């Protein structure tokens, strides 16, 4: 009896790879294969080995295929969603010349500031690319490479994003999509093309870059015989352009032109992000004016310090993740890796407001509050970018979709409810980035709209939580610290290490 068609959605994130096998018709998850990969670096450096990502993808697909029980012949499509912004530089043999500079590598902060000035300030960048460069943006990382490792930059024969690198390993084709390309700093979502003036500023030859497909669900090639052999699949499987992780999560939620528009999402993972799919053109320097995988827009704000930073505080205190209480008078800004929003790449953590009565559980609760306020402050910017008034009762009643690993933690959910005062929807699906990639894979195989595919699957549905009365006292206390002392005390250069 023939097996139902199966698609594979790959989530290649900062620390691991997941390969989700889904029924292409119903969207039912059949299996999820997992494999870790490493992040290395200290003092602002964060790097990863692209070949290790490929090995992790192979392991995750093999595990998922075995668990699913589906024959290799049932797989009709595959797509990769990857961590954004990372800089992968390849030699003529298409092998990495060095480890990739990851999105949370803050060494390129000086280059980001110089690039902003070189083009004429934030307004010029907003007008051309929709976003103002910060340390995370690929353009700043390329500039860092040129200045610090010029011989590597000179030897470079191809520049890729993490998901582009993996897609090319699958197909042999150099292709990307508008969503992930819009996080490079050299692609303009409004025109759908690379910005040649910015490429000249970066001394980056456009021929080193992948072709930009129309959407993340566009078929850009087929699984090669070599890749199929390594993955245990059959050659000829449709491969989608894929996209960035946030864009893929939006697809998995059914957000976009064929689904919900202007509905905000808060993702709690290694980073904290808030975004919405919209048809309005973003023009806010506080946001990244990304493109969506379906050709619309995905205005987004991202913080560097979210679940991992709070977990670190819990470990230091000897507490479990959910052993937290409201912070009382204590304010803890857990900026352990610098910070992107606000743009404080040299930041370190800040603790203030301690009393004799302050307990370890309150300190942990203060870390949750500091991380949550940091990302929620950007919510109003996202709503305005969608053409909405955040103060409107109708807009305030629009539910905030809570996703990512933190959405499964009681302390995170309750902190977001208390500090946002908004209704929440916590989708039942736990792997929305991989699910979105699976929908892109289904679209590449069938020609259907990926957002419509995800909407039909119902993967964005979940538990609805009524709003709580907003804890404005805590909100105001954290904001006062952040706006007052934080800019002075946190944004300090990292000490130089002696050899």
**Is 245 assigned a catalytic role?**
yes
Q: Could you tell me the CA-to-CA distances from 25 to 1, 251, 447 in Å, in that order?
A: 17, 16, 13
The length of the chain, given as a count of residues: 499
Residues facing residue 389 across a β-bridge: none
Q: Measured at the alpha carbon of residue 247, what is the angle toward residues 285 and 412, in degrees to the nearest 5?
A: 80
- Asked if residue 411 lies in contact with residue 431, where contact means CB atoms within 8 angstroms, the answer is no
The two beta strands, 16-23 and 100-101, are unpaired
Neighbours of 26 (CB within 10 A): 11
Catalytic residue among 164, 245, 262, 311: 245
Residue 484, both tokens: 């007052």
C-alpha 9/C-alpha 5 separation (Å) is 13
| CA separation for the pair 476, 228 (Å, rounded) | 55
**Where are the strands (E) in 313-387, listed by range?**
331-333, 350-352
C-beta of residue 24 within 8 angstroms of C-beta of residue 440: no
Q: Which residues contact 289 (CB under 8 A, 6 or more apart)?
A: 126, 129, 130, 131, 182, 189, 281, 282, 283, 297, 299, 385
| Residue numbers annotated as active site | 245
């Amino acid at each position: 009896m023939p097996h139902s068609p199966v698609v594979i959605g790959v989530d290649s994130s900062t620390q691991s790879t997941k390969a989700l096998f889904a029924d292409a018709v119903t969207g039912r998850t059949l299996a999820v294969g997992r494999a870790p990969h490493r992040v290395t670096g200290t003092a602002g450096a964060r790097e990863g080995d692209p070949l290790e990502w490929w090995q992790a993808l192979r392991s995750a697909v093999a595990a998922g295929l075995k668990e699913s029980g589906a024959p290799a012949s049932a797989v009709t499509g595959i797509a990769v969603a990857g961590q954004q912004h990372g800089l992968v530089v390849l030699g003529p043999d298409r092998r990495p010349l060095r480890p990739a500079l990851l999105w949370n590598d803050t060494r390129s902060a000086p280059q980001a500031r110089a690039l902003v000035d070189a083009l004429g300030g934030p307004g010029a960048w907003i007008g051309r690319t929709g976003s103002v460069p910060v340390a995370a943006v690929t353009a700043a990382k390329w500039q860092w490479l040129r200045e610090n490792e010029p011989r590597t930059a000179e030897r470079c024969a191809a520049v890729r994003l993490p998901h582009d690198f993996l897609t090319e390993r699958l197909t042999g084709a150099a292709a990307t999509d508008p969503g992930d390309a819009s996080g490079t700093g050299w692609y303009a979502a409004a025109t759908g093309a690379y910005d040649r003036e910015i490429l000249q500023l970066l001394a980056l030859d456009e021929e080193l870059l992948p072709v930009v497909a129309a959407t993340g669900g566009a078929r850009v090639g087929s699984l090669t015989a070599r890749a199929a052999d390594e993955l245990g699949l059959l050659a000829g499987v449709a491969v989608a352009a894929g996209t960035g992780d946030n864009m893929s999560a939006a697809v998995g939620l059914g957000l976009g032109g064929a689904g919900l528009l202007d509905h905000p999402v808060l993702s709690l993972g290694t980073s904290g992000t808030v975004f919405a799919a919209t048809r309005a053109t973003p023009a806010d320097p506080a946001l990244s004016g990304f493109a969506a995988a379906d050709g619309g827009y995905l205005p987004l704000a991202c913080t560097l310090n979210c679940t991992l930073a709070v977990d670190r505080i819990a470990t230091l205190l000897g507490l479990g993740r959910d052993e937290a209480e409201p912070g009382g008078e204590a304010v803890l800004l857990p900026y352990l890796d610098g910070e992107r929003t606000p743009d404080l790449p040299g930041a370190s953590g800040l603790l203030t407001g301690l009393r004799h009565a302050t307990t370890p559980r309150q300190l942990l609760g203060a870390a949750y509050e500091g991380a949550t306020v940091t990302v929620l402050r950007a919510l109003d910017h996202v709503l305005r970018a969608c053409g909405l008034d955040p103060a409107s009762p109708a807009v305030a009643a629009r539910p905030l979709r809570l996703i990512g690993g933190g959405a499964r933690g009681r302390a995170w959910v309750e902190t977001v409810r208390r500090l946002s005062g908004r209704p929440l929807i916590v989708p039942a699906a736990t792997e929305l980035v991989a699910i979105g990639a699976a929908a892109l894979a289904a679209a590449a195989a069938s020609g259907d709209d990926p957002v419509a595919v995800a909407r039909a699957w119902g993967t964005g549905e979940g538990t609805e939580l009524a709003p709580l009365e907003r804890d404005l006292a805590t909100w105001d206390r954290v904001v006062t610290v952040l706006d007052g002392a934080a800019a002075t005390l946190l944004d300090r250069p990292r000490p130089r290490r002696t050899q």
